[in-house]
């Protein structure tokens, strides 16, 4: 800048200089150097200070610092030393050069020698006026009588008019009406007396906004001392006045808060201050309720009650109004013209506001120091209006003051609530809470302490704690510990939990748990003691120890142990009995790998699947597996565990392990017996089916014999009938296969085999059974009807066992109609799909039926209504159906006979040829074993 503008600056009249944004002078004009007799190198930086009169330098520096802080154009006065040593008074005008968004890049100053004003002649007038345009202030040239003669360019720019128009205006059109009376008095006095003019007033800008100015007027006199002209300098002090005013108001509001004024009074004062500072507006403050969902009333001293009531209770969202929107978005909402607004139509906010004479609304969120929205600050106008930069600054400052007031009020409310809660906690606490000072004297004694120690609060407060609740044998030690802490800060009890003996008012001693903490306050230390009577706990601990001993012995006798397993850390804890079951040394840490070393090889995959499942899902589990011991013996374990969370929130299982080897061996033996009993039941049916079986076998055998004879005759003919012999041979093979199929079905039905799962179609299985029984049914003159569902889905089950059930039900129905002679003997076998995702088979007869009281007994073992019956057919049938997760039931018909039905679920899933008693859980296994 110096290289580019130095010639220009040197050509300007006056002492011209420039400074960096921090105030350090970086260039002075040639006239500066000539006037002071110093070169430029001596004047830059802080060197210019040597040219200032020593008496004026401190004030000048202070004024310069304030101008740098304000960042606005201003003026100063001081005496500067000329090269001959004489001091002249100068007016120092400074103005910032701004680049971009209010960024100061340079300061320009002009020092005007005001001692020479009286000696200036008319010859220098035009030059002076040209200089005035470079002065960073508004300059007015007035006639001796106070009439406007000329102004510098800054004035014309500010008022937005020409000099001719400005001369035609009256002073009152520029000066604020409230300031006009005092301004006229001061100006008239200066005109009359010739004294300098010095006032602060508000001047209207071209956009109608008033700003504060410091106006100083100096008269110019001729050689005779007559005033020939007035020079007026107006410096913009609006920012300073506004800052001072706001600072004073903020101080008053904060003093109100400190004095305990209600939040409502503070907010009302704030609104009135805003309305005074920014004319023509109405101000309000709304609060956000504690839930953050609704608006509450804060203050609105100048707005009608009907308008306020329409705002309160509105939801905090973007649709219910500008204040609610600002609070919801935490950003300013400007509605410059409500007539043009389309927002908030859902809640008809704009029509409501305009009905109250409002045309503009500027709403700003009020946030706490933590960034939480606590309310909204709103300014309303009765005409469309957009906020200026100055008004935005005002809004920001008042919003800040509002946040302080609201947060202070909320803090006071929270403090009062906290004090109330603390008092309630002290009163309701079950533990003793005692506060003592640094001398060990009681200063607080809650009701629980009164009940526990037997002292009324009024009696013990002020006494030394050691004399009241500490046994005599421990008092000296207590005092020594207190003295040591106060002297050195060493503590042995503070911050720790200890158990000790305390004494009541009646002298009785009892165990307590004690914790002492220092109260974090300045000044002499004080302490809070928390005491709990642990008499009952001691008794419980003793009882628990006895119970633990009993549990250990009970686990040993029942061969049941307990364990815990933390999935996250892998930590496993066993009781002594679990170590005995696994035959491990208790000194060995338990791990899953250690457990796996004992698990039977055939059950390892089952164990791994269980661990993977329960590690991923927090669910209770129960399963059985085998252990293969070092001596090759096998143990059966039954394990059950409950999922929970430990103190760290980690998944942990608490469970029990029982050695069920003896029970399992007994159950397997019982299972074999029951399986054999079921087979016996099937064999018993074999005798009754002899005729049917003989018929089924005789038919293909007779065909074989006939076909064989025919074949021989055809081969013996001359010539041999080879084609006919070939056809009779084919029929012989067919009849042989028929006989073989009958034998295969009989072997499958009555043979000894393992439980085998496969897909079974009940229609086909039923038809095979009926085929075996058909001759017997015809012999007994029983008319059998088959009502099969053609779309019946298959089920998973043991085909042979299900056919045994069907065989039992059909034969029982046939037997029930054996003595019937007076009505037709009709037997219906029906299959259908149930509504509960299962299939049903029903056998309905018209026999003698059964008595109602026998309804629930007919399925019991060894209960029968037949003279020659064993009572195991229906019992075995129910066991088979329940083994298939189904159910078997009976019910009497409306007329004659009874209907027996069973249903099997469609989703029964199990691996084929797998023993259900091993794969299923203990409850299912026991059910199966009871059934077989």
Would you say 843 and 900 are in contact if contact means Cβ atoms under 8 Å apart? yes
Count of CB atoms situated within 10 Å of the CB of 463: 16
Query: Measured between alpha carbons, how far is 218 from 118 in angstroms, rounded to an integer?
Result: 11
Structure-block tokens of residue 356: 């109250």
Would you say 138 and 75 are in contact if contact means Cβ atoms under 8 Å apart? no
* Residue given tokens 């091993």 in the structure block: 918
Which of these, 853, 819, 829, lies nearest to 863 by C-alpha position?
Answer: 853
Which pLDDT value is given to residue 123?
Answer: 41
**377 pLDDT higher than 50:** yes
Which of 124-133, 201-210, 804-813 is the least confident region?
124-133
Better-predicted residue by pLDDT, 912 or 786: 786
pLDDT, one tens digit per residue, over 664-709 is 887 777 666 656 655 555 555 555 455 455 555 655 666 676 777 7
**815 pLDDT higher than 70:** yes
Query: Measured between alpha carbons, how far is 805 from 807 in angstroms, rounded to an integer?
Result: 5
Are 793 and 847 contained in the same domain?
yes
Instruction: Evaluate the omega torsion of the peptide bond into residue 719 and state whether it is cis, within 30 degrees of 0.
Output: yes
Q: Write a three-state SS string for 861-907.
A: CCCCCCCCCCCCHHHHHHHHHHHCCCEEEEEECCCCCEEEEEEEECC
Would you say 564 and 572 are in contact if contact means Cβ atoms under 8 Å apart? yes
- Report if residue 858 sits inside a domain: yes
Would you say 53 and 78 are in contact if contact means Cβ atoms under 8 Å apart? yes
Better-predicted residue by pLDDT, 668 or 595: 595
Are 44 and 84 contained in the same domain?
yes
Inter-helix orientation angle 661-688/690-716, to 10°: 60
All residues at 6 or more sequence positions from 659 whose CB lies less than 8 Å from its CB, including other chains: 559, 560, 581, 635, 636, 637
Which of 114-128, 644-658, 794-808, 841-855 is the least confident region?
114-128
- Report if residue 712 sits inside a domain: no
**Residue 199 belongs to domain spanning:** 2-238
Better-predicted residue by pLDDT, 800 or 928: 800
Would you say 623 and 599 are in contact if contact means Cβ atoms under 8 Å apart? no
When the pLDDT of each residue in the chain is averaged and rounded to a whole number, the result is 82
Better-predicted residue by pLDDT, 477 or 363: 363
Query: Which DSSP string do the residues of 76-109 spell out, in sequence order?
Result: EEEEEE-TTS-EEEEEEEEEEEEETTTEEEEEEE
812: CATH:
3.30.565.10
Which pLDDT value is given to residue 799?
Answer: 87
**762 pLDDT higher than 80:** yes
Structure-block tokens of residue 898: 């009874």
Query: Which DSSP string do the residues of 725-778 spell out, in sequence order?
Result: HHHHHHHHHHHHHHHHHHHHHHHHHHS------EEE-HHHHHHHHHHHHHHHHH
Of 220, 238, 256, the position where a domain reaches its end is: 238
- Report if residue 736 sits inside a domain: no
Torsion from C-alpha of 320, 322, 327, 329, nearest 10 degrees: 90
Which pLDDT value is given to residue 927?
Answer: 36
Using the Cα atoms of residue 35, residue 39, residue 44 and residue 47 in order, give the sign of their dihedral: negative
**917 pLDDT higher than 50:** no
Are 388 and 439 contained in the same domain?
no
Are 161 and 57 contained in the same domain?
yes
All residues at 6 or more sequence positions from 579 whose CB lies less than 8 Å from its CB, including other chains: 561, 585, 586
Which of 521-525, 724-728, 825-829, 921-925 is the least confident region?
921-925
573: CATH:
3.30.450.20
| β-pairing verdict for 281-288 and 148-151 | unpaired
**167 pLDDT higher than 90:** no
Better-predicted residue by pLDDT, 499 or 915: 499
All residues at 6 or more sequence positions from 300 whose CB lies less than 8 Å from its CB, including other chains: 271, 282, 283, 284, 285, 307, 308
Would you say 138 and 183 are in contact if contact means Cβ atoms under 8 Å apart? no
Would you say 280 and 251 are in contact if contact means Cβ atoms under 8 Å apart? no
List for the chain the helix, strand, coil content (%; round to 5): 45, 25, 30
- Report if residue 670 sits inside a domain: no
Q: Write a three-state SS string for 659-701.
A: ECHHHHHHHHHHHHHHHHHHHHHHHHHHHHCHHHHHHHHHHHH
Structure-block tokens of residue 497: 């939990």
Are 232 and 248 contained in the same domain?
no
Which of 197-206, 809-818, 872-881 is the least confident region?
872-881
Of 659, 685, 711, the position where a domain reaches its end is: 659
Are 805 and 915 contained in the same domain?
yes
| β-pairing verdict for 826-833 and 783-787 | parallel
Are 214 and 248 contained in the same domain?
no
Better-predicted residue by pLDDT, 819 or 500: 500
Query: Measured between alpha carbons, how far is 110 from 112 in angstroms, rounded to an integer?
Result: 6
Contacts 24+ apart (CB under 8 A), 740-749: 742/693, 742/696, 742/697, 742/700, 743/697, 745/772, 746/686, 746/693, 746/772, 748/799, 748/800, 749/682, 749/800, 749/803, 749/804, 749/807
Q: Under DSSP, is residue 53 helix (H, G, I), strand (E, B) or coil?
A: coil
Residue 83 C-beta-side C-alpha neighbours within 13 Å = 9
Of 238, 259, 278, the position where a domain reaches its end is: 238
Are 563 and 595 contained in the same domain?
yes
Query: Measured between alpha carbons, how far is 299 from 377 in angstroms, rounded to an integer?
Result: 10
C-alpha Rg value of the chain to the nearest Å: 55
Using the Cα atoms of residue 604, residue 608, residue 613 and residue 618 in order, give the sign of their dihedral: positive
Are 766 and 805 contained in the same domain?
yes
All residues at 6 or more sequence positions from 908 whose CB lies less than 8 Å from its CB, including other chains: 795, 796, 797, 884, 885
Residue 830 C-beta-side C-alpha neighbours within 13 Å = 13
Query: Measured between alpha carbons, how far is 151 from 129 in angstroms, rounded to an integer?
Result: 8
* Residue given tokens 């200070």 in the structure block: 49
Would you say 396 and 331 are in contact if contact means Cβ atoms under 8 Å apart? no
Count of CB atoms situated within 10 Å of the CB of 149: 13
Contacts 24+ apart (CB under 8 A), 628-637: 628/598, 628/599, 628/600, 628/601, 629/583, 629/598, 630/583, 634/600, 634/661, 635/581, 635/659, 635/661, 636/660, 636/661, 636/663, 636/664, 637/581
Average pLDDT over residues 645-658: 88
- Report if residue 708 sits inside a domain: no
pLDDT, one tens digit per residue, over 502-547 is 999 999 999 998 888 888 777 788 888 888 888 888 888 777 766 6
> Residue 423: what are its φ and ψ, rounded to 5°?
-65, -40
Which pLDDT value is given to residue 555?
Answer: 57
Average pLDDT over residues 638-656: 89
pLDDT, one tens digit per residue, over 385-436 is 999 887 888 888 888 888 888 888 777 777 788 788 877 877 777 789 889 8
In DSSP terms, 227 is beta-bridged to: 221
Which of 54-68, 132-146, 298-312, 736-750 is the least confident region?
736-750
Burial 284-306 (b: 16+ CB within 10 A, else e): bbbbbeeeeebbebbbbeebeee
Which of 58-72, 292-306, 473-487, 869-883 is the least confident region?
869-883
Three-point CA angle 27, 32, 38, nearest 5°: 90
Beta strands in 315-402 (DSSP E): 333-335, 360-367, 373-381
What percent of the chain clears pLDDT 70, i.e. is strictly above it? Answer: 85
Which pLDDT value is given to residue 743?
Answer: 64
- Report if residue 20 sits inside a domain: yes
**832 pLDDT higher than 90:** yes
Residue 899: which pLDDT band, with cuts at 50, 70 and 90? very high
Number of domains in the chain: 5
Inter-helix orientation angle 690-716/722-750, to 10°: 160
Better-predicted residue by pLDDT, 789 or 854: 789
Which of these, 134, 132, 166, 136, lies nearest to 149 by C-alpha position?
Answer: 166
Would you say 303 and 284 are in contact if contact means Cβ atoms under 8 Å apart? yes
pLDDT, one tens digit per residue, over 725-744 is 777 777 777 767 766 665 65
Are 250 and 350 contained in the same domain?
yes
Which run of H or of E encompasses 212? strand 210-221
Are 289 and 301 contained in the same domain?
yes
- Report if residue 351 sits inside a domain: yes
Which of 3-7, 40-44, 437-441, 887-891 is the least confident region?
3-7
Three-point CA angle 390, 393, 395, nearest 5°: 110
- Report if residue 738 sits inside a domain: no
CB-count exposure of residue 469 (10 Å: 0-12, 13-18, 19+): buried
Which of these, 18, 193, 231, lies nearest to 108 by C-alpha position?
Answer: 18
In this prediction the pTM is 0.38
Are 363 and 443 contained in the same domain?
no
pLDDT, one tens digit per residue, over 314-360 is 999 999 999 999 999 999 999 999 999 999 998 999 999 999 999 99
How far CA 99 is from CA of 71, 531, 925, in Å, comes to: 13, 70, 90
């Amino acid at each position: 800048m110096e290289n580019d503008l130095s010639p220009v600056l040197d050509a300007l009249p006056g002492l011209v200089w420039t400074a960096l944004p921090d105030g350090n002078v970086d260039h002075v004009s040639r006239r500066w150097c000539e006037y002071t007799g110093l070169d430029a190198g001596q004047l830059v930086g802080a060197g210019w200070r040597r040219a200032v009169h020593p008496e004026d330098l401190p004030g000048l520096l202070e004024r310069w610092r304030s101008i740098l802080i304000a960042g606005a154009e201003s003026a100063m006065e001081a005496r500067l030393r000329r090269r001959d040593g004489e001091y002249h008074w100068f007016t120092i005008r400074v103005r910032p050069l701004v680049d971009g968004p209010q960024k100061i890049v340079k300061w320009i100053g002009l020092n005007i020698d005001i001692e020479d004003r009286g000696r200036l002649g008319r010859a220098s007038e035009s030059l002076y006026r040209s200089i005035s345009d470079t002065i960073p202030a508004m300059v007015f040239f007035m006639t001796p009588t106070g009439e406007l003669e000329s102004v510098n360019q800054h004035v014309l720019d500010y008022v937005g008019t020409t000099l001719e128009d400005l001369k035609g205006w009256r002073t009152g059109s520029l000066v604020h009406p409230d300031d006009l009376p005092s301004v006229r008095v001061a100006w008239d006095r200066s005109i009359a007396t010739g004294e300098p003019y010095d006032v602060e007033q508000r001047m209207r800008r071209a956009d109608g906004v008033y700003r504060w100015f410091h106006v100083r007027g100096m008269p110019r006199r001729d050689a005779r001392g007559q005033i020939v002209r007035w020079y007026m300098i107006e410096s913009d002090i609006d920012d300073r006045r506004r800052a001072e005013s706001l600072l004073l108001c903020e101080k008053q509001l904060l003093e109100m808060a400190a004095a305990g004024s209600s939040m409502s009074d503070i907010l009302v004062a704030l609104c009135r201050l805003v309305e005074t500072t920014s004319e023509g507006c109405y101000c309000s403050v709304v609060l956000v309720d504690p839930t953050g969902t609704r608006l509450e009333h804060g203050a609105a001293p100048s707005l009608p009650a009907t308008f306020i009531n329409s705002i309160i209770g509105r939801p905090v969202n973007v649709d219910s109004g500008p204040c609610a929107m600002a609070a919801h978005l935490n950003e300013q909402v400007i509605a410059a013209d409500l007539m043009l607004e389309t927002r908030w139509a859902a809640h008809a906010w704009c029509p409501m506001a305009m009905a109250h004479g409002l045309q503009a609304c500027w709403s700003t969120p009020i946030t706490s120091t933590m960034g939480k929205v606590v309310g909204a600050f709103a300014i309303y106008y009765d005409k469309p209006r957009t906020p200026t930069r100055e008004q935005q600054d005002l809004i920001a400052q008042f919003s800040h003051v509002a946040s302080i007031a609201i947060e202070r009020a909320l803090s006071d409310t929270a403090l009062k609530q906290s004090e109330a809660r603390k008092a309630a906690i002290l009163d309701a606490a079950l533990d003793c809470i005692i506060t003592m000072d640094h001398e060990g004297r009681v200063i607080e004694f809650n009701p629980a302490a009164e009940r526990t120690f037997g002292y009324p609060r009024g009696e013990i407060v002020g006494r030394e704690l050691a004399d009241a609740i500490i046994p005599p044998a421990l008092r000296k030690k207590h005092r020594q510990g207190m003295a040591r802490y106060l002297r050195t800060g060493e503590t042995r009890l503070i911050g720790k939990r200890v158990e000790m003996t305390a004494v009541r008012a009646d002298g009785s001693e009892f165990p307590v748990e004690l914790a002492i903490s220092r109260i974090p306050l300045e000044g002499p230390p004080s302490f809070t003691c928390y005491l709990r009577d642990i008499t009952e706990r001691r008794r419980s601990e003793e009882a628990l120890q006895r119970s633990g001993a009993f549990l250990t012995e009970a686990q040993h006798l029942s061969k049941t142990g307990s364990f815990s397993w933390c999935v996250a850390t892998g930590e496993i804890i066993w009781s002594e009995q679990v170590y005995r079951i696994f035959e491990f040394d208790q000194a060995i840490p338990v791990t899953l790998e250690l457990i796996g070393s004992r698990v039977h090889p055939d059950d390892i995959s089952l164990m791994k699947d269980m661990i993977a499942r329960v590690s991923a899902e927090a669910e209770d589990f129960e399963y059985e597996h085998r252990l293969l011991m070092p001596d090759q013996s096998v143990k059966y374990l039954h394990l059950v565990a409950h999922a929970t969370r430990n103190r760290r929130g980690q998944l942990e299982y608490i469970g029990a392990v029982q050695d069920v080897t003896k029970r399992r061996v007994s159950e397997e033996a019982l299972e074999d017996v029951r399986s054999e009993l079921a087979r016996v039941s099937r064999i018993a049916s074999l005798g009754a089916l002899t005729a049917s079986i003989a018929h089924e076998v005789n038919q293909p055998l007779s065909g074989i014999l006939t076909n064989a004879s025919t074949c021989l005759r055809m081969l013996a003919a001359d010539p041999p009938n080879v084609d006919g012999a070939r056809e009779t041979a084919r029929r012989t093979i067919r009849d042989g296969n028929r006989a073989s199929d009958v034998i295969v079905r009989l072997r499958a039905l009555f043979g000894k085999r393992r439980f085998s799962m496969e897909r079974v179609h009940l229609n086909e299985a039923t038809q095979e059974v009926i085929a075996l029984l058909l001759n017997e049914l015809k012999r007994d003159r029983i008319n059998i009807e088959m009502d099969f569902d053609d779309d019946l889905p298959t089920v998973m089950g043991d085909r042979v066992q299900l056919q045994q059930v069907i065989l039992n039900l059909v034969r029982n129905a046939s037997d029930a109609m054996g003595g019937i002679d007076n009505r037709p003997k009709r037997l219906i076998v029906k299959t259908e799909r149930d509504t509960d995702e299962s299939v049903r088979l029903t056998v309905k007869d018209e026999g003698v039926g059964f008595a109602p009281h026998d309804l629930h007994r007919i399925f019991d073992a060894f209960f029968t209504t037949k003279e020659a019956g064993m009572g195991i057919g229906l019992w075995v049938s129910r066991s088979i159906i329940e083994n298939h997760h189904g159910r078997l039931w009976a019910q009497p018909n409306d007329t004659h006979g009874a209907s027996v039905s069973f249903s099997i679920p469609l989703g029964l899933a199990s691996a084929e040829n797998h023993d259900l008693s091993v794969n299923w859980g203990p409850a299912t296994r026991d059910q199966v074993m009871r059934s077989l």
